[in-house]
Chain A
Amino acid sequence: MRKALLALAVAGLGITPAYAVDVLFTGNITGVCSLALSTPGTLAVSTDGQTLGSQEGLGLFAAVTVLSIGNATVTVAAPTRTQSPAGYVATGETVEVAYTGLSGLSGISHPTYTNQQTTFAANSLPLTVLQLNNRIRNVNGFPTGTYQTRTVVTCS
């Protein structure tokens, strides 16, 4: 009965009691970055015989997929030659890399070949493709056989 009378009093005055609570959500993001080689590249020799590269003749670029959550830095190391046939004269050779990003990395481009390590920021990227080209320049030419270059890409 006392509660009912209080209800009447509250309603009669047009005052409605209000109660509130804060519902909180907390989370912590630590950097996550993953790389995967989706397509290995193919090297072909140039018409003048002094360049062996993925942009020569029937050569193909290599594709690396990048997924980044939070802040990340992608480092593209200087490429190295990891295989060559007997009789190859390495003196004077230059091993270089160039790359271009697609979609989320479209602003990332290093189309000029370099034999140096380079880096770029990859902050919160959806699955994105990085196309890499390698080449070896050598005035001594390239004897018949199998060649392989390697570029180490890291995300940290």
Chain B
Amino acid sequence: MQLKAAAAATLLVGLATPALSCTLTLGTPGTLGISTSGQYLGSTQPGGVAATMTVATVGPSTMTVQPPTYTQVPSGYSGAGDTMEIGYTGSGLISGVTQAFTTGVTQFGVPNLLGIGTVIVTFNSRATTATGFRNGTYQMRTIVTCS
């Protein structure tokens, strides 16, 4: 009996620790569309598609979402002064997670999924131009960290 009690106590301590394992998988990359006003370039604009990411954890985790940055813009477009925003929603066990568009760093928690379950986070990204978008290809990157 004493041995069983000791094992249970150890297990509880283990569950309370930060993520032992966290696997982030990009499901669908996002697509950017342009607003009819020409002011916004984002995944919620016409032609845009949200990005999805799957999270699998062992142990409770904290997700940190950085604001997006440009990784590609057309020649002649600097992007300086543009407002870069990210928003997201969770599903499944984290369906209560909702973040409206923000320019800041945000965090949310993911419970212990025991390595057998997953949750999906849907991200939307948006840039507001300061000078007017030019023709060409744009790419934004948001870094998501699990710890």
Judged by a CB distance under 8 angstroms, whether A68 is at the interface is yes
Q: In the bound complex, do residue A21 and residue B144 qualify as a contact, i.e. CB atoms below 8 Å apart?
A: yes
Contact with B135, one of A4, A19, A22, A31 (Cβ below 8 angstroms): A31
Chain A residues lying within 8 Å of B20, measured Cβ to Cβ, are: 3, 6-7, 10, 17
**Bound-complex Cα distance A23 to B142 (A):** 5
Judged by a CB distance under 8 angstroms, whether B81 is at the interface is no
**Bound-complex Cα distance A129 to B72 (A):** 33
Q: In the bound complex, do residue A24 and residue B147 qualify as a contact, i.e. CB atoms below 8 Å apart?
A: no
Count how many chain B residues have C-beta atoms less than 8 Å from C-beta atoms of the other chain. Answer: 58
**Most chain A CB inside 10 Å of its own CB: which residue of B7, B36, B68, B135:** B135
Q: In the bound complex, do residue B135 and residue A29 qualify as a contact, i.e. CB atoms below 8 Å apart?
A: yes
Chain B nearest CB: distance from A71 CB in Å? 5
State which of A108-116, A120-128, A139-147 sits at the interface with chain B. A120-128
Chain B residues lying within 8 Å of A86, measured Cβ to Cβ, are: none
Count how many chain A residues have C-beta atoms less than 8 Å from C-beta atoms of the other chain. Answer: 36
Contact with A70, one of B19, B23, B31, B134 (Cβ below 8 angstroms): B134
**Bound-complex Cα distance A18 to B143 (A):** 12
| Interface positions of A from 9 to 34, Cβ below 8 Å from B | 10-11, 16-32
Judged by a CB distance under 8 angstroms, whether A8 is at the interface is yes
Contact with B30, one of A3, A5, A26 (Cβ below 8 angstroms): A26
Chain A nearest CB: distance from B101 CB in Å? 13
Contact with A20, one of B13, B14, B123, B146 (Cβ below 8 angstroms): B146
**Bound-complex Cα distance A152 to B141 (A):** 43
Q: Which residues does A use to contact B, with CB under 8 Å?
A: 1, 3-8, 10-11, 16-32, 67-71, 123-127
List of 5 A-B pairs having minimum Cβ-Cβ separation, nearest first: A27-B32, A124-B132, A4-B14, A25-B30, A21-B24
